[in-house]
Structure 1
Amino acid sequence: MKPLTYQNVPNEFVTSKKNTQFAYRILGQDNNKTLLLLTHLAATMDNWDPKLINTLSEKYRVIVFDNKGVGLSKGKVPNTIEEMAEEVLEFIDAMQLNAINVLGLSMGGMVAQELVKIASEKIDKLILVGTGPRGGEGIEKIIPIANKLTFKAILHAKDPKYYLFFNQDDIGKTKATEYLRRLKERKINRDKKITLPSYIKQLKAIKKWGNANRESLNYIDMPTLIVNGDNDKMVPTQNSFALADDISYSEIKIYQNAGHGSLFQEPIDFCESVNEFIGE
Protein backbone atom coordinates (compact mmCIF):
# COMPACT_ATOMS: atom_id res chain seq x y z
CA MET A 1 0.00 0.00 0.00
CA LYS A 2 1.39 3.39 -1.02
CA PRO A 3 2.02 5.89 1.79
CA LEU A 4 -0.45 8.75 1.87
CA THR A 5 0.68 11.94 0.15
CA TYR A 6 -1.24 14.93 -1.12
CA GLN A 7 -1.17 13.28 -4.53
CA ASN A 8 -3.31 10.36 -3.31
CA VAL A 9 -4.96 11.33 0.00
CA PRO A 10 -8.71 10.66 -0.33
CA ASN A 11 -11.44 13.25 -0.47
CA GLU A 12 -13.59 13.14 2.64
CA PHE A 13 -16.88 14.78 3.56
CA VAL A 14 -18.45 16.20 6.69
CA THR A 15 -21.93 17.68 7.19
CA SER A 16 -22.37 20.70 9.45
CA LYS A 17 -25.23 21.43 11.84
CA LYS A 18 -26.57 23.76 9.15
CA ASN A 19 -26.68 20.75 6.81
CA THR A 20 -23.84 21.93 4.57
CA GLN A 21 -21.67 19.15 3.18
CA PHE A 22 -18.02 20.18 3.05
CA ALA A 23 -15.34 18.32 1.10
CA TYR A 24 -11.94 18.14 2.76
CA ARG A 25 -8.57 16.39 2.75
CA ILE A 26 -6.53 15.65 5.84
CA LEU A 27 -2.89 14.61 5.86
CA GLY A 28 -0.07 14.35 8.34
CA GLN A 29 0.87 13.76 11.93
CA ASP A 30 -1.82 12.69 14.35
CA ASN A 31 -0.75 15.11 17.05
CA ASN A 32 -2.11 18.19 18.77
CA LYS A 33 -0.80 20.58 16.10
CA THR A 34 -3.48 21.12 13.49
CA LEU A 35 -2.91 23.51 10.58
CA LEU A 36 -6.08 24.60 8.76
CA LEU A 37 -5.52 26.18 5.34
CA LEU A 38 -7.87 28.80 3.87
CA THR A 39 -7.41 29.14 0.15
CA HIS A 40 -7.24 31.87 -2.46
CA LEU A 41 -9.69 33.25 -5.01
CA ALA A 42 -11.16 30.63 -7.38
CA ALA A 43 -9.26 27.80 -5.73
CA THR A 44 -10.30 24.27 -4.93
CA MET A 45 -8.34 21.65 -2.99
CA ASP A 46 -6.41 20.83 -6.17
CA ASN A 47 -4.79 24.27 -6.13
CA TRP A 48 -2.68 23.53 -3.07
CA ASP A 49 0.89 22.67 -4.00
CA PRO A 50 1.57 18.99 -3.18
CA LYS A 51 5.17 19.81 -2.34
CA LEU A 52 4.01 22.38 0.20
CA ILE A 53 1.33 20.16 1.76
CA ASN A 54 3.55 17.08 1.92
CA THR A 55 6.29 19.04 3.67
CA LEU A 56 3.92 20.67 6.16
CA SER A 57 2.34 17.30 6.90
CA GLU A 58 5.67 16.04 8.26
CA LYS A 59 5.05 18.24 11.30
CA TYR A 60 1.31 18.91 11.43
CA ARG A 61 -2.11 17.49 10.80
CA VAL A 62 -2.89 19.56 7.71
CA ILE A 63 -6.52 20.13 6.74
CA VAL A 64 -7.68 21.74 3.50
CA PHE A 65 -11.27 22.05 2.34
CA ASP A 66 -13.48 23.45 -0.39
CA ASN A 67 -15.35 26.61 0.48
CA LYS A 68 -19.12 26.47 0.43
CA GLY A 69 -20.40 26.34 -3.16
CA VAL A 70 -16.93 25.55 -4.56
CA GLY A 71 -15.50 22.30 -5.88
CA LEU A 72 -16.97 19.26 -4.16
CA SER A 73 -18.60 21.22 -1.31
CA LYS A 74 -22.32 21.94 -1.41
CA GLY A 75 -24.19 25.19 -0.86
CA LYS A 76 -23.84 28.67 -2.32
CA VAL A 77 -20.81 30.95 -2.33
CA PRO A 78 -21.26 33.66 0.35
CA ASN A 79 -21.64 37.26 -0.78
CA THR A 80 -19.11 38.78 1.62
CA ILE A 81 -15.78 37.98 3.26
CA GLU A 82 -17.52 38.18 6.64
CA GLU A 83 -19.99 35.48 5.57
CA MET A 84 -17.09 33.35 4.33
CA ALA A 85 -15.60 33.51 7.84
CA GLU A 86 -18.89 32.25 9.27
CA GLU A 87 -18.72 29.39 6.76
CA VAL A 88 -15.20 28.50 7.94
CA LEU A 89 -16.43 28.44 11.54
CA GLU A 90 -19.24 26.15 10.41
CA PHE A 91 -16.61 23.76 9.00
CA ILE A 92 -14.42 24.03 12.12
CA ASP A 93 -17.35 23.13 14.35
CA ALA A 94 -18.39 20.25 12.08
CA MET A 95 -14.84 18.88 12.35
CA GLN A 96 -14.78 19.52 16.12
CA LEU A 97 -11.54 21.45 15.86
CA ASN A 98 -10.00 23.49 18.67
CA ALA A 99 -6.62 25.06 19.39
CA ILE A 100 -5.77 25.18 15.70
CA ASN A 101 -3.23 27.13 13.67
CA VAL A 102 -4.76 28.91 10.67
CA LEU A 103 -2.99 29.75 7.42
CA GLY A 104 -4.90 32.10 5.13
CA LEU A 105 -3.69 32.74 1.59
CA SER A 106 -4.83 35.85 -0.31
CA MET A 107 -8.65 35.81 -0.04
CA GLY A 108 -8.19 33.17 2.65
CA GLY A 109 -6.08 35.64 4.63
CA MET A 110 -8.92 38.15 4.50
CA VAL A 111 -11.32 35.47 5.68
CA ALA A 112 -8.89 34.50 8.44
CA GLN A 113 -8.92 38.06 9.81
CA GLU A 114 -12.71 38.00 10.00
CA LEU A 115 -12.59 34.50 11.52
CA VAL A 116 -10.52 35.82 14.42
CA LYS A 117 -13.39 38.21 15.25
CA ILE A 118 -15.85 35.38 15.77
CA ALA A 119 -13.66 32.47 16.86
CA SER A 120 -10.41 33.76 18.37
CA GLU A 121 -10.66 31.23 21.19
CA LYS A 122 -10.20 28.41 18.68
CA ILE A 123 -7.01 29.81 17.10
CA ASP A 124 -3.51 29.47 18.57
CA LYS A 125 -1.43 31.08 15.84
CA LEU A 126 -2.21 32.85 12.58
CA ILE A 127 -0.33 32.91 9.27
CA LEU A 128 -1.34 35.51 6.66
CA VAL A 129 0.14 35.08 3.19
CA GLY A 130 -0.23 37.40 0.19
CA THR A 131 -3.04 39.33 1.80
CA GLY A 132 -3.93 42.63 3.41
CA PRO A 133 -6.25 44.38 5.83
CA ARG A 134 -9.89 45.30 5.24
CA GLY A 135 -9.87 48.46 3.11
CA GLY A 136 -6.21 47.88 2.25
CA GLU A 137 -4.43 49.68 -0.56
CA GLY A 138 -5.35 48.46 -4.04
CA ILE A 139 -7.48 45.52 -2.89
CA GLU A 140 -10.58 47.06 -4.45
CA LYS A 141 -8.88 46.80 -7.87
CA ILE A 142 -8.96 43.00 -7.78
CA ILE A 143 -11.46 42.64 -10.64
CA PRO A 144 -9.61 44.56 -13.40
CA ILE A 145 -6.27 43.04 -12.39
CA ALA A 146 -7.63 39.50 -12.35
CA ASN A 147 -9.48 40.01 -15.64
CA LYS A 148 -6.47 41.53 -17.39
CA LEU A 149 -4.05 38.77 -16.41
CA THR A 150 -6.61 36.01 -16.98
CA PHE A 151 -7.24 37.33 -20.50
CA LYS A 152 -3.48 37.41 -21.08
CA ALA A 153 -3.29 33.78 -19.92
CA ILE A 154 -6.02 32.77 -22.35
CA LEU A 155 -4.20 34.47 -25.21
CA HIS A 156 -1.00 32.59 -24.39
CA ALA A 157 -2.68 29.27 -23.49
CA LYS A 158 -1.42 29.50 -19.90
CA ASP A 159 -2.95 28.90 -16.52
CA PRO A 160 -3.87 32.36 -15.08
CA LYS A 161 -1.74 31.64 -12.01
CA TYR A 162 1.31 31.73 -14.27
CA TYR A 163 0.84 35.51 -14.47
CA LEU A 164 -1.12 36.21 -11.27
CA PHE A 165 1.24 34.48 -8.85
CA PHE A 166 4.74 34.82 -10.31
CA ASN A 167 7.12 37.43 -11.67
CA GLN A 168 7.70 37.26 -15.40
CA ASP A 169 11.47 37.10 -15.33
CA ASP A 170 13.40 33.87 -15.97
CA ILE A 171 13.25 32.80 -12.33
CA GLY A 172 9.56 33.54 -12.01
CA LYS A 173 8.66 31.72 -15.21
CA THR A 174 10.66 28.67 -14.16
CA LYS A 175 9.08 28.59 -10.71
CA ALA A 176 5.61 29.05 -12.20
CA THR A 177 6.12 26.15 -14.60
CA GLU A 178 7.37 23.89 -11.79
CA TYR A 179 4.42 24.79 -9.54
CA LEU A 180 1.81 24.26 -12.26
CA ARG A 181 3.40 20.92 -13.13
CA ARG A 182 3.14 19.83 -9.48
CA LEU A 183 -0.56 20.68 -9.44
CA LYS A 184 -1.11 17.97 -12.05
CA GLU A 185 0.56 15.21 -10.04
CA ARG A 186 -2.71 14.09 -8.50
CA LYS A 187 -4.26 11.79 -11.08
CA ILE A 188 -7.32 10.31 -9.34
CA ASN A 189 -10.19 11.73 -7.27
CA ARG A 190 -9.47 15.23 -8.43
CA ASP A 191 -11.66 18.13 -7.40
CA LYS A 192 -14.21 19.97 -9.52
CA LYS A 193 -13.15 23.37 -10.83
CA ILE A 194 -14.95 26.45 -9.57
CA THR A 195 -17.85 27.61 -11.73
CA LEU A 196 -17.83 31.05 -13.36
CA PRO A 197 -20.77 32.38 -11.27
CA SER A 198 -19.06 31.28 -8.05
CA TYR A 199 -15.78 32.90 -9.15
CA ILE A 200 -17.58 36.17 -9.90
CA LYS A 201 -19.24 36.15 -6.46
CA GLN A 202 -15.85 35.72 -4.81
CA LEU A 203 -14.40 38.58 -6.86
CA LYS A 204 -17.25 40.88 -5.82
CA ALA A 205 -16.84 39.91 -2.18
CA ILE A 206 -13.13 40.81 -2.26
CA LYS A 207 -13.87 44.13 -3.99
CA LYS A 208 -16.51 44.97 -1.38
CA TRP A 209 -14.08 44.14 1.42
CA GLY A 210 -11.37 46.21 -0.25
CA ASN A 211 -13.70 49.19 -0.54
CA ALA A 212 -14.69 49.01 3.13
CA ASN A 213 -13.28 51.38 5.73
CA ARG A 214 -10.02 50.46 7.42
CA GLU A 215 -10.29 49.27 10.98
CA SER A 216 -7.88 48.57 13.80
CA LEU A 217 -6.57 45.03 13.96
CA ASN A 218 -5.93 45.13 17.69
CA TYR A 219 -8.49 42.34 18.05
CA ILE A 220 -5.88 39.98 16.56
CA ASP A 221 -4.03 39.14 19.76
CA MET A 222 -2.44 35.80 18.85
CA PRO A 223 1.06 35.45 17.37
CA THR A 224 0.88 36.17 13.64
CA LEU A 225 3.30 35.45 10.81
CA ILE A 226 2.91 37.64 7.71
CA VAL A 227 4.43 36.47 4.41
CA ASN A 228 4.52 37.89 0.89
CA GLY A 229 6.68 38.45 -2.14
CA ASP A 230 8.19 41.87 -2.79
CA ASN A 231 6.17 42.26 -6.01
CA ASP A 232 2.60 41.15 -5.33
CA LYS A 233 0.37 42.22 -8.23
CA MET A 234 -2.87 40.91 -6.68
CA VAL A 235 -2.64 42.32 -3.14
CA PRO A 236 0.11 44.96 -3.19
CA THR A 237 2.97 44.10 -0.86
CA GLN A 238 2.59 47.30 1.16
CA ASN A 239 -0.53 45.69 2.64
CA SER A 240 1.66 43.08 4.33
CA PHE A 241 3.63 45.83 6.04
CA ALA A 242 0.34 47.47 7.05
CA LEU A 243 -0.72 44.20 8.68
CA ALA A 244 2.59 43.93 10.52
CA ASP A 245 2.29 47.52 11.77
CA ASP A 246 -1.22 46.94 13.06
CA ILE A 247 -0.97 43.47 14.63
CA SER A 248 0.84 43.59 17.97
CA TYR A 249 2.36 40.11 18.09
CA SER A 250 3.45 39.80 14.48
CA GLU A 251 6.55 39.09 12.46
CA ILE A 252 6.97 39.54 8.73
CA LYS A 253 8.88 37.71 6.01
CA ILE A 254 9.15 39.19 2.50
CA TYR A 255 10.62 37.05 -0.28
CA GLN A 256 12.78 38.94 -2.74
CA ASN A 257 12.04 38.61 -6.45
CA ALA A 258 8.71 36.92 -5.75
CA GLY A 259 5.05 37.70 -6.30
CA HIS A 260 1.65 36.75 -4.93
CA GLY A 261 2.53 33.04 -4.88
CA SER A 262 5.69 33.34 -2.80
CA LEU A 263 4.88 30.23 -0.74
CA PHE A 264 4.62 28.20 -3.96
CA GLN A 265 7.79 29.72 -5.37
CA GLU A 266 9.79 28.80 -2.26
CA PRO A 267 7.78 25.98 -0.65
CA ILE A 268 10.58 24.40 1.40
CA ASP A 269 11.86 27.68 2.81
CA PHE A 270 8.28 28.71 3.56
CA CYS A 271 7.63 25.47 5.46
CA GLU A 272 10.79 26.01 7.49
CA SER A 273 9.53 29.47 8.44
CA VAL A 274 6.18 28.00 9.46
CA ASN A 275 7.94 25.36 11.59
CA GLU A 276 10.02 28.01 13.35
CA PHE A 277 6.95 30.17 13.94
CA ILE A 278 4.56 27.50 15.23
CA GLY A 279 7.31 25.78 17.18
CA GLU A 280 8.19 28.92 19.14
Structure 2
Amino acid sequence: MHPDHQTAKTEFVSKGDQTYAYRRFGKGDGVPLMFLIHFRGNMDLWDPLLINSIAQSRPVILFDNAGVGKSNGAVATTIEGMAKHVIDFLDVIGETEIDLLGFSMGGYITQLVALNAPAGQIRRLIITGSGSSGGEGVMNHPIEQQKQVGQLAGQPEAYWKRVNERNEATSGEERSQVVSYNYADGGAGVKAMGAANQSFADPSQSSAGSLQRLKELKMPVFIAQGHDDFMIPTTNSFLMQQRLPNARLKIFPDSGHGSLYQYPVEFAGDVARFLEMA
Protein backbone atom coordinates (compact mmCIF):
# COMPACT_ATOMS: atom_id res chain seq x y z
CA MET A 1 0.00 0.00 0.00
CA HIS A 2 1.05 3.60 -0.53
CA PRO A 3 2.63 5.18 2.53
CA ASP A 4 0.68 8.38 3.13
CA HIS A 5 -2.10 10.79 2.24
CA GLN A 6 0.16 13.12 0.26
CA THR A 7 1.40 10.47 -2.20
CA ALA A 8 -1.28 7.75 -2.40
CA LYS A 9 -2.59 7.12 -5.91
CA THR A 10 -6.26 7.26 -6.76
CA GLU A 11 -7.90 4.00 -7.80
CA PHE A 12 -11.24 3.47 -9.52
CA VAL A 13 -13.94 0.80 -9.43
CA SER A 14 -17.31 0.72 -11.15
CA LYS A 15 -20.79 -0.61 -10.57
CA GLY A 16 -22.80 -0.25 -13.73
CA ASP A 17 -22.32 3.27 -15.07
CA GLN A 18 -21.16 4.59 -11.70
CA THR A 19 -17.40 4.87 -11.16
CA TYR A 20 -16.07 5.49 -7.65
CA ALA A 21 -12.69 7.05 -6.86
CA TYR A 22 -10.83 6.00 -3.72
CA ARG A 23 -7.40 5.66 -2.12
CA ARG A 24 -6.24 2.86 0.13
CA PHE A 25 -3.00 3.05 2.12
CA GLY A 26 -1.63 2.58 5.62
CA LYS A 27 -0.17 -0.20 7.69
CA GLY A 28 -1.12 -3.85 7.79
CA ASP A 29 -3.93 -5.98 6.48
CA GLY A 30 -6.41 -5.58 9.34
CA VAL A 31 -9.91 -4.15 9.26
CA PRO A 32 -9.69 -0.91 7.25
CA LEU A 33 -11.08 2.42 8.45
CA MET A 34 -13.07 4.24 5.77
CA PHE A 35 -13.52 8.02 5.94
CA LEU A 36 -16.66 9.90 4.84
CA ILE A 37 -16.19 13.65 4.55
CA HIS A 38 -18.25 16.81 5.12
CA PHE A 39 -20.61 18.89 2.98
CA ARG A 40 -19.01 19.80 -0.39
CA GLY A 41 -15.82 17.95 0.57
CA ASN A 42 -13.77 15.35 -1.27
CA MET A 43 -10.91 13.07 -0.27
CA ASP A 44 -8.27 15.72 -1.07
CA LEU A 45 -9.60 17.85 1.79
CA TRP A 46 -8.78 15.55 4.70
CA ASP A 47 -6.04 16.79 7.03
CA PRO A 48 -2.86 14.79 6.25
CA LEU A 49 -1.65 15.00 9.85
CA LEU A 50 -4.85 13.33 11.06
CA ILE A 51 -5.04 10.73 8.29
CA ASN A 52 -1.36 9.78 8.40
CA SER A 53 -1.41 9.49 12.20
CA ILE A 54 -4.24 6.97 11.95
CA ALA A 55 -2.69 5.17 8.95
CA GLN A 56 0.43 4.37 10.99
CA SER A 57 -1.46 1.55 12.69
CA ARG A 58 -4.08 0.37 10.17
CA PRO A 59 -5.20 0.48 6.54
CA VAL A 60 -7.36 3.48 5.65
CA ILE A 61 -9.71 4.12 2.74
CA LEU A 62 -10.56 7.62 1.48
CA PHE A 63 -13.57 7.86 -0.81
CA ASP A 64 -15.34 10.25 -3.18
CA ASN A 65 -19.09 9.66 -3.26
CA ALA A 66 -21.02 9.87 -6.53
CA GLY A 67 -20.68 13.25 -8.23
CA VAL A 68 -17.89 14.32 -5.87
CA GLY A 69 -14.19 14.84 -6.61
CA LYS A 70 -12.93 12.20 -9.01
CA SER A 71 -16.10 10.04 -8.97
CA ASN A 72 -18.55 10.42 -11.83
CA GLY A 73 -22.33 10.57 -11.74
CA ALA A 74 -24.69 12.88 -9.90
CA VAL A 75 -24.71 13.78 -6.22
CA ALA A 76 -27.55 11.94 -4.46
CA THR A 77 -30.36 14.16 -3.16
CA THR A 78 -30.82 12.18 0.07
CA ILE A 79 -28.48 10.96 2.79
CA GLU A 80 -29.99 7.51 2.24
CA GLY A 81 -28.94 7.69 -1.42
CA MET A 82 -25.40 8.70 -0.46
CA ALA A 83 -25.25 5.79 1.98
CA LYS A 84 -26.42 3.43 -0.78
CA HIS A 85 -23.44 4.50 -2.89
CA VAL A 86 -21.09 3.65 -0.01
CA ILE A 87 -22.70 0.22 0.36
CA ASP A 88 -22.40 -0.37 -3.40
CA PHE A 89 -18.73 0.66 -3.30
CA LEU A 90 -17.97 -1.73 -0.43
CA ASP A 91 -19.67 -4.52 -2.36
CA VAL A 92 -17.53 -3.85 -5.45
CA ILE A 93 -14.22 -3.81 -3.56
CA GLY A 94 -15.23 -6.91 -1.60
CA GLU A 95 -14.93 -5.53 1.95
CA THR A 96 -17.04 -7.76 4.20
CA GLU A 97 -15.88 -6.10 7.45
CA ILE A 98 -14.97 -2.44 7.84
CA ASP A 99 -14.89 0.44 10.32
CA LEU A 100 -16.39 3.81 9.36
CA LEU A 101 -15.52 7.38 10.34
CA GLY A 102 -17.88 10.17 9.33
CA PHE A 103 -17.34 13.91 9.80
CA SER A 104 -20.29 16.34 9.70
CA MET A 105 -22.52 15.25 6.78
CA GLY A 106 -20.27 12.21 6.54
CA GLY A 107 -21.49 11.32 10.03
CA TYR A 108 -25.07 11.30 8.75
CA ILE A 109 -24.06 9.00 5.92
CA THR A 110 -22.12 6.75 8.29
CA GLN A 111 -25.22 6.14 10.40
CA LEU A 112 -27.35 5.08 7.43
CA VAL A 113 -24.60 2.90 6.00
CA ALA A 114 -24.42 1.06 9.33
CA LEU A 115 -28.21 0.76 9.50
CA ASN A 116 -28.71 -0.41 5.91
CA ALA A 117 -25.56 -2.44 5.11
CA PRO A 118 -25.55 -6.25 5.34
CA ALA A 119 -25.50 -7.51 8.93
CA GLY A 120 -22.00 -7.68 10.39
CA GLN A 121 -20.31 -5.68 7.62
CA ILE A 122 -19.81 -2.53 9.72
CA ARG A 123 -17.70 -3.39 12.76
CA ARG A 124 -17.31 -0.02 14.54
CA LEU A 125 -18.40 3.59 13.99
CA ILE A 126 -16.74 6.93 14.67
CA ILE A 127 -18.98 10.00 14.34
CA THR A 128 -17.51 13.49 14.74
CA GLY A 129 -18.97 16.98 14.35
CA SER A 130 -22.32 15.44 13.54
CA GLY A 131 -25.71 14.36 14.85
CA SER A 132 -28.71 12.19 14.10
CA SER A 133 -31.59 12.97 11.78
CA GLY A 134 -34.24 15.44 12.92
CA GLY A 135 -36.85 14.67 15.54
CA GLU A 136 -37.84 15.16 19.15
CA GLY A 137 -34.97 16.57 21.21
CA VAL A 138 -32.74 17.37 18.23
CA MET A 139 -31.69 21.04 18.31
CA ASN A 140 -30.84 23.64 15.68
CA HIS A 141 -28.78 26.74 16.38
CA PRO A 142 -30.45 30.18 16.48
CA ILE A 143 -30.32 32.05 13.19
CA GLU A 144 -27.80 34.58 14.56
CA GLN A 145 -25.29 31.81 15.25
CA GLN A 146 -25.88 30.36 11.81
CA LYS A 147 -25.03 33.76 10.29
CA GLN A 148 -21.71 33.71 12.17
CA VAL A 149 -20.89 30.38 10.52
CA GLY A 150 -21.21 32.07 7.13
CA GLN A 151 -18.86 34.86 8.21
CA LEU A 152 -16.27 32.41 9.55
CA ALA A 153 -16.45 30.23 6.44
CA GLY A 154 -14.56 32.87 4.47
CA GLN A 155 -11.60 32.87 6.85
CA PRO A 156 -8.42 30.83 6.25
CA GLU A 157 -8.61 27.39 7.84
CA ALA A 158 -6.02 26.70 10.55
CA TYR A 159 -5.21 23.37 8.90
CA TRP A 160 -5.26 24.64 5.31
CA LYS A 161 -1.49 24.59 4.86
CA ARG A 162 -1.45 20.91 5.84
CA VAL A 163 -4.34 20.09 3.50
CA ASN A 164 -2.39 21.57 0.59
CA GLU A 165 0.55 19.25 1.26
CA ARG A 166 -1.21 16.91 -1.15
CA ASN A 167 -0.77 18.54 -4.55
CA GLU A 168 0.22 17.71 -8.10
CA ALA A 169 3.92 17.72 -7.20
CA THR A 170 3.60 15.21 -4.34
CA SER A 171 0.91 12.96 -5.80
CA GLY A 172 1.23 13.35 -9.56
CA GLU A 173 -2.51 14.10 -9.64
CA GLU A 174 -4.53 17.27 -10.02
CA ARG A 175 -6.33 18.34 -6.84
CA SER A 176 -10.11 18.09 -6.83
CA GLN A 177 -12.20 21.17 -6.10
CA VAL A 178 -15.10 21.37 -3.68
CA VAL A 179 -18.51 20.40 -5.03
CA SER A 180 -19.94 23.09 -7.37
CA TYR A 181 -16.66 25.04 -7.33
CA ASN A 182 -17.18 28.38 -9.10
CA TYR A 183 -20.70 27.15 -9.89
CA ALA A 184 -19.25 25.18 -12.81
CA ASP A 185 -22.14 22.69 -12.67
CA GLY A 186 -24.76 25.39 -12.27
CA GLY A 187 -24.88 24.53 -8.59
CA ALA A 188 -26.38 21.08 -9.15
CA GLY A 189 -24.03 19.31 -6.74
CA VAL A 190 -24.32 21.72 -3.84
CA LYS A 191 -28.10 21.97 -4.34
CA ALA A 192 -28.37 18.18 -4.14
CA MET A 193 -26.30 18.12 -0.95
CA GLY A 194 -28.42 20.91 0.51
CA ALA A 195 -31.59 18.97 -0.26
CA ALA A 196 -30.11 15.87 1.37
CA ASN A 197 -29.21 17.78 4.53
CA GLN A 198 -32.61 19.44 4.67
CA SER A 199 -34.57 16.20 4.33
CA PHE A 200 -32.36 14.47 6.92
CA ALA A 201 -33.14 17.26 9.39
CA ASP A 202 -36.89 17.14 8.69
CA PRO A 203 -38.74 15.13 11.38
CA SER A 204 -41.48 14.30 8.85
CA GLN A 205 -38.87 12.31 6.89
CA SER A 206 -37.96 10.17 9.92
CA SER A 207 -38.60 6.89 8.11
CA ALA A 208 -35.51 7.62 5.98
CA GLY A 209 -33.48 8.99 8.91
CA SER A 210 -31.51 7.60 11.82
CA LEU A 211 -32.95 9.03 15.06
CA GLN A 212 -35.66 6.43 15.60
CA ARG A 213 -33.31 3.61 14.57
CA LEU A 214 -30.24 4.42 16.67
CA LYS A 215 -31.13 1.59 19.06
CA GLU A 216 -30.53 -0.85 16.19
CA LEU A 217 -26.82 0.03 16.09
CA LYS A 218 -25.37 -2.53 18.50
CA MET A 219 -21.71 -2.11 17.47
CA PRO A 220 -19.33 0.08 19.50
CA VAL A 221 -19.61 3.76 18.55
CA PHE A 222 -17.21 6.60 19.39
CA ILE A 223 -18.70 10.10 19.19
CA ALA A 224 -16.31 13.08 19.22
CA GLN A 225 -17.44 16.69 19.26
CA GLY A 226 -16.26 20.21 19.95
CA HIS A 227 -17.33 22.14 23.04
CA ASP A 228 -19.46 24.56 20.98
CA ASP A 229 -20.31 23.43 17.46
CA PHE A 230 -21.97 26.30 15.58
CA MET A 231 -23.07 24.05 12.72
CA ILE A 232 -24.43 20.93 14.42
CA PRO A 233 -25.18 21.71 18.09
CA THR A 234 -23.02 19.83 20.57
CA THR A 235 -26.11 18.81 22.53
CA ASN A 236 -27.11 16.56 19.62
CA SER A 237 -24.02 14.44 20.27
CA PHE A 238 -25.24 13.89 23.83
CA LEU A 239 -28.62 12.84 22.44
CA MET A 240 -27.00 10.29 20.14
CA GLN A 241 -24.86 8.88 22.93
CA GLN A 242 -27.92 8.40 25.11
CA ARG A 243 -29.87 6.59 22.38
CA LEU A 244 -27.09 4.36 21.09
CA PRO A 245 -26.73 1.10 23.06
CA ASN A 246 -22.91 1.00 23.03
CA ALA A 247 -21.58 4.53 22.54
CA ARG A 248 -18.93 6.63 24.25
CA LEU A 249 -18.65 10.41 23.87
CA LYS A 250 -15.68 12.79 24.07
CA ILE A 251 -16.01 16.59 24.07
CA PHE A 252 -12.86 18.50 23.11
CA PRO A 253 -12.26 21.80 24.94
CA ASP A 254 -12.17 25.24 23.29
CA SER A 255 -13.26 23.80 19.95
CA GLY A 256 -16.12 23.69 17.51
CA HIS A 257 -17.32 21.81 14.46
CA GLY A 258 -13.84 20.74 13.32
CA SER A 259 -12.45 19.58 16.65
CA LEU A 260 -10.76 16.63 14.90
CA TYR A 261 -8.58 19.18 13.04
CA GLN A 262 -7.93 21.28 16.14
CA TYR A 263 -6.69 18.18 18.01
CA PRO A 264 -5.54 15.90 15.16
CA VAL A 265 -2.91 13.89 17.04
CA GLU A 266 -5.02 13.45 20.18
CA PHE A 267 -8.06 12.49 18.11
CA ALA A 268 -5.99 10.00 16.08
CA GLY A 269 -4.85 8.39 19.34
CA ASP A 270 -8.45 8.20 20.55
CA VAL A 271 -9.45 6.53 17.28
CA ALA A 272 -6.63 3.98 17.48
CA ARG A 273 -7.48 3.02 21.06
CA PHE A 274 -11.18 2.75 20.28
CA LEU A 275 -10.62 0.50 17.27
CA GLU A 276 -8.19 -1.74 19.14
CA MET A 277 -10.09 -2.18 22.40
CA ALA A 278 -11.60 -5.56 23.23
Please confirm whether the aligned pair reaches a TM-score higher than 0.5, indicating the same fold: yes
Q: Aligned AA for 1:185?
A: E
| Mapped partners of 1:216, 1:140: distance in 2 | 24
Q: Aligned AA for 2:176?
A: D
| Mapped partners of 2:161, 2:75: distance in 1 | 28
Q: Check whether the contact 1:141–1:207 (CA below 8 A) recurs between aligned residues.
A: no
Q: Aligned AA for 1:227?
A: A
Which residue number in structure 1 is paired with residue 253 of structure 2?
A: 256
Q: Cα–Cα, structure 1 residues 207 and 277, in superposed 2: closer, same or farther, change >3 Å?
A: same
Q: Check whether the contact 1:71–1:191 (CA below 8 A) recurs between aligned residues.
A: yes
Which residue number in structure 2 is paired with residue 191 of structure 1?
A: 176
Alignment of 1:231-270 (within 5 A): 231-270=228-267
Q: Check whether the contact 1:104–1:112 (CA below 8 A) recurs between aligned residues.
A: yes
Q: Check whether the contact 2:31–2:58 (CA below 8 A) recurs between aligned residues.
A: yes
| Structure 1: segments with no counterpart, 5+ residues | 163-175
Aligned match for 2:39, one of 41, 62, 65: 41
Q: Aligned AA for 2:86?
A: V
Which residue number in structure 2 is paired with residue 220 of structure 1?
A: 217
Q: Cα–Cα, structure 1 residues 37 and 227, in superposed 2: closer, same or farther, change >3 Å?
A: same
Segments of 4+ moved more than 2 angstroms: 136-142, 147-154
Q: CA deviation at 1:138?
A: 3.9
Q: Give CA deviations for 1:221-251 in whole Å, capped at 9, x if unaligned.
A: 1000000001101110001000100001110
Which residue number in structure 2 is paired with residue 129 of structure 1?
A: 128
| Mapped partners of 2:213, 2:66: distance in 1 | 28
Q: Check whether the contact 2:141–2:232 (CA below 8 A) recurs between aligned residues.
A: no
Q: CA deviation at 1:12?
A: 1.3
Which residue number in structure 1 is paired with residue 184 of structure 2?
A: none
| Mapped partners of 2:253, 2:91: distance in 1 | 38
Which residue number in structure 1 is paired with residue 226 of structure 2?
A: 229
TM superposition score normalised by structure 1: 0.85
Q: Aligned AA for 1:257?
A: D
| Mapped partners of 2:57, 2:161: distance in 1 | 25
| Mapped partners of 2:142, 2:121: distance in 1 | 32
- Tell me, what secondary structure is at the counterpart of 1:54? helix
Q: Check whether the contact 2:75–2:189 (CA below 8 A) recurs between aligned residues.
A: yes
1:210 and 2:201 aligned: yes
| Mapped partners of 1:197, 1:106: distance in 2 | 20
| Mapped partners of 1:150, 1:67: distance in 2 | 25
Q: Check whether the contact 2:139–2:235 (CA below 8 A) recurs between aligned residues.
A: no
Q: CA deviation at 1:152?
A: 5.5
| Mapped partners of 2:99, 2:275: distance in 1 | 8
Q: How many corresponding residue pairs?
A: 255
Which residue number in structure 1 is paired with residue 21 of structure 2?
A: 23
Give the % identical residues: 34
Q: Check whether the contact 2:141–2:230 (CA below 8 A) recurs between aligned residues.
A: no
TM superposition score normalised by structure 2: 0.86
Task: Give the superposed CA RMSD.
Answer: 2.0
